Amino acid sequence: MRRRSPAPHDSSTMQETPLQPIVYSLQFRGRITSLSSRVLEQRASAPSQVLITTVDANGLAGDVQPGEGKEALLVSRLVLADDGSFDQSGTIEFAAGHVLAFRSVGAARLAPSPDPNLRHGAAIWEVEGGEGQFHGARGRITSNFFVSDTNELTDNHFGLIFVAPPAATHAPEARIRAPLPRLGIRETWAQLRRSIALHDLLAECALWTAPWSGFPPHEDPECAEEFVTCAAVWRDVPFYDDPDGTQKLPYSINPQSQFRQRGERR
């Protein structure tokens, strides 16, 4: 009886290079801009720097000193909710061709601070790869920031990022622009409803239709009722991932409930 030879090992698996951790701390300064009632944009930069922490008889002290090197650029957007929480995504360019992409995870919040002229925010970011050195990178970054009443931003980062060794990141295939991962439909719907972006869109639509209807939106009961119905549909819409068809339609788009509402209106 012939003995089968063992299957050859996958060369790609054998040649995989373990990721190495990078720990960094940077203080970004810039501005925060309001794009709408619930969307904010951060733009800030941080020069190469040294964070000095001192513990002595007086307690704790910290200072940031300039260092040698280039600056990093931060661009991100925050989508606010009614309770002060927010979702955030963006990029950090540490040098030309080396861009890190991130998205907030867990509870991120922007709230008043003990200083009446400052708002204090904090978030944890999940690293989602990027370009150059950050191709395939993973890790977490904490963002602890405050915004002044003149929209000046100071954002303190502490990160632990796992990246491939320099020899691997400079390979030809690593220099190709890495496609950033996209959210699935379930995550996209959840973020949209949580940020209440649809409600802002409906409010804008109401303002657009006011010149044609001849009534301000709040004085036109039919218009207001339709917008409320649309909002209810989006809040209660199913995920459409039920192959057996057992998922019930939400009340807001159930034909029987719609018929009953119209009958009551008559």
Closest to 233 measured CA to CA, from 184, 183, 186, 198: 198
Task: Assess whether pLDDT exceeds 70 at residue 55.
Answer: yes
Instruction: Identify whether the C-beta of residue 19 lies closer than 8 Å to the C-beta of residue 163.
Output: yes
pLDDT in tens, 212-254: 555 555 555 565 566 556 555 555 544 444 445 554 544 444 4
The CA distance from 93 to 69, in Å, is: 14
Cβ-based neighbour number of residue 195 at 10 Å: 20
Give me the pLDDT at residue 163, please: 95
The CA distance from 78 to 57, in Å, is: 40
DSSP 264: H
Tell me if residue 218 falls in helix, strand or coil.
helix
> Binning pLDDT at 50, 70 and 90, where does residue 259 land?
very low
Alpha-helical runs (H) found in 152-220: 166-169, 185-195, 197-213
Mean pLDDT across 256-260: 48
pLDDT in tens, 158-175: 999 999 987 655 544 444
pTM exceeds 0.95 for this model:
no
